Structure 1
Amino acid sequence: MRLVPVLAFATLLSGCLFDKEPEVVRLSGETMGTTFNITAIGENLDEDALASAVQETLAEVNAKMSNWDPNSEVSTFSAATGTDPMSVSAEFAQVITAANEVHEKSGGIFDVTLGPLIELWGFGPRTPEDPVPSDAEIEAALSGVGQNRLLTLDVKAGTLAKSEPGVGINLSAIAKGYGIDAVAERLREAGIEDYLVEIGGDLVTKGQNDKGEIWRIGIEKPQAVAQTPQLIVSVGDLGMASSGDYKNFFEQDGVRYSHIIDPTTGRPITHRTTSVTVLAENAMMADAWATAMLALGQEKGLELAEKHELAVYFISRDVTGGEEAYITVHSSAFKDAIGTN
């Protein structure tokens, strides 16, 4: 299951040219159940070598972080029935460390052990006839959620332990961002200083586009069908991720149930915030915080964003203005991060 739907898309606007016309390599394909698009700008670029490096990097990320691959590192850990510490790769430990940071700062609203609740609410497979979970079922599922008490990471020893045998990890709200950063790192190793790496709508930028400008990115209006920009921003050397509740939900008996589940209540969110975009130092942190902020909603999320100086843009439904009327609010750090628009 994907917790973060496609919301952001790049729009490259014209402007001043480089002193010398740059070479541009554009790569695209599929990964992590979605698509990727990469634009690399430089001199003497070897497109075949870059394509090979990107595919190799994405394969390595999936081998560690994919919940869909039963042989991946995260799947192997989740399937283990023991509670003894298990050796984990440095990359896996890096992602869990970041997840722990967001979990703590968000008051537990971001949680990689959310799997029992995801399954209970039917995100995956479900049919319209499936009943809404009972209070007792929710309470039972909540007993298997809570990464701060269920997971113990020892970075120095390179181990991760679960306190109960059935504990699993779902990285779908952070692994995509990690994959973006991993690809960006490979581009930098190849000497490329101007690029955009996008996977499933989340992205990271570096330097300038082929017109000699800071990358310009469109934040999508929260509509289920059309892709229309709500806001276009300048994004320089930052990760960017969006999360929304309007493309993945179900309705039953006149009630709309979002796929974004609050791990503190065990239930889908009910507030009016429908889309959140986060800018961060890398795509991994932007990815995780976008999910956390959407779960929190505008009121609580904005308060937390100001506290931790997070760059966040909220789009909420305006119940007084019709079906497609929205209210937008952003944190102070978001205004500082987007540059001149």
Structure 2
Amino acid sequence: MGMVAAILLLSGCDNPQKKTETAPHTTLLDGKTMGTFWRVSLVGVAPEREAALREKIQAQLDADDQLLSTWKNDSALMQFNHAATTSPWPVSEAMSDIVTLSLRIGQKTQGAMDVTVGPLVNLWGFGPNKQPVKTPSEDDIAQAKRRVGLSHLTVHQSAQGQYLQKDIPDLFVDLSTVGEGYAADHLARLMEQEGVSRYLVSVGGALVSRGTNAEGRSWRVAIQQPTDRENAVAAIVDINGHGISTAGSYRNYYELDGKRLSHVIDPATGRPIQHTLVSATVIAPTALEADGWDTGLMVLGPEKAKALALEQKLAVYLIVKEPKGFTTWMSPQFETFLLSQKN
């Protein structure tokens, strides 16, 4: 949701020509959700189960969308956003967990990852509202910024349940920065419940894997070069049971008043980012964590992102735009997942 899908699923079989008659069956399922695409690769699942699995997957993703969408006025999140109250608002355990993690990452990124940035996202035309026909004024930005800030949102957990609370009635929470990661983790849990132990699942730019592909090798995931050319690979990794997510500023943009505007908004300035970091990929224990961190790193820019990755010991891969092409940087933790790299 909201983040560019800059990760490619490589073939479940490293070399299809070498596939033997004894290799287990690979099932490929895909569809649409959250304004993006989902894809699931499964090994060893009987063909007669495919239709039922597809139905369960789509039903679960539809439910996740109904929980988190800012495009549906009747979603659980939008009901909280529309509620003109500062009293505790009951929410599901899933919603509580998502917001709690988002606030934690937001604090560690010094507010760069801010799930209350919705008013600014909408102001610049990247939310449910239409694209603006002119650049927002300083006053428009200042007014929107007054409705933004992690300090305005609190999670309460007790024996009675879970609650979100805002201290300004018109606070707007936008979880699109972590929605794909949550949905990918949720798909992985569904696979476990269905007795599937070898899979690679993706929702947009967030992926989770477990086990091996049909050839008994590691699932391979490619990080895409920041180019409009499809299948241009920057690096290939084995995420080995982890989650991975990429945030990028090079596809989701539009031109306004002669300037290219990224969908990544800096809460501190109230404006689209202007720095040279064009892609941030994070590998973490869950896709939800990876999806939260990649957004914060994209907002911070190359130097601050590198420093934070080293400080927090994150597995991070950055692509930076230079005058004559691109340069890449990876943290020591990311190197352990690397299979190969193409220049």
What is the distance in 1 between the residues matched to 2:231 and 2:10? 12
* 1:291 Cα deviation from its structure 2 partner: 1.1
- State the shift of 1:31 in Å: 0.8
- Counterpart CA distance in 2 for 1:145 and 1:181 is 28
Residue 250 of structure 2: which of 246, 250, 272 is its match? Answer: 246
CA distance in 2, matches of 1:200, 1:289: 16
1:171 lines up with 2:175 in the alignment? yes
| Deviation, structure 1 residue 119 | 1.5
Q: Look up the SS of the partner of 1:174 in the other structure.
A: helix
Aligned partner of 1:101: which letter?
R
- Aligned partner letter, 1:327: T
Q: CA deviation at 1:263?
A: 0.6
Confirm whether residue 150 of structure 1 aligns to residue 155 of structure 2: no
1:14 is aligned to 15
Counterpart residue type for residue 34 of structure 2 = M
The whole-number CA distance in structure 2 between the counterparts of 1:43 and 1:218 is 25
The separation in 2 between residues aligned to 1:339 and 1:251, in whole angstroms, is: 37
Give unmatched runs, 5+ long, in structure 2: none
Q: Of the candidates 32, 35, 45, which is equivalent to residue 33 of structure 1?
A: 35
SS at structure 1 position matched to 2:176: coil
TM-score normalised by structure 2 residue count: 0.92
Give 1:1-341 correspondences, 5 Å limit. 2-12=1-11, 13-14=14-15, 21-42=23-44, 44=46, 46-124=49-127, 125-126=130-131, 130-147=133-150, 149-156=151-158, 157-319=161-323, 321=324, 325-338=325-338
SS in 2 for 1:155: strand
1:264-289 superposed Cα distances (whole Å, 9 cap, x missing partner): 12111111111111111111111111
SS at match of 1:247: coil
Shift of 1:73: 0.6
Alpha-carbon distance in 2 for matches of 1:212, 1:312: 27
CA-based RMSD of the aligned residues comes to 1.9
Offset of residue 100 of structure 1: 1.1
Distance 2:8 2:318 in 1: 17
* Distance of 2:75 and 2:29 partners within structure 1: 25
Q: Number of residue pairs matched?
A: 333
Task: Give a deviation string over 1:80-110, Cα, whole Å, max 9, x none.
Answer: 0111101110111111111111111111100
**SS of residue matched to 2:222:** strand
Distance 2:70 2:214 in 1: 36
Q: List per-residue Cα deviations over 1:121-179 (Å, max 9, x = no partner).
A: 2224225xx221222221211110112x1111012241111111111211111011101
Q: Secondary structure at the match of 1:235?
A: coil
- State the 4+ residue runs in structure 1 displaced beyond 4 angstroms: 15-20
Q: Given that residues 236 and 340 in structure 2 are in contact (C-alpha distance below 8 angstroms), is that contact kept between their aligned partners in structure 1?
A: no
Q: Which letter does structure 1 place at the counterpart of 2:59?
A: E
Report the Cα distance in structure 1 between the residues aligned to 2:2 and 2:306, rounded to whole angstroms. Answer: 20
- Judged with a 3 Å threshold, the aligned counterparts in structure 2 of structure 1 residues 32 and 216 are, in CA distance, closer, same or farther, namely same
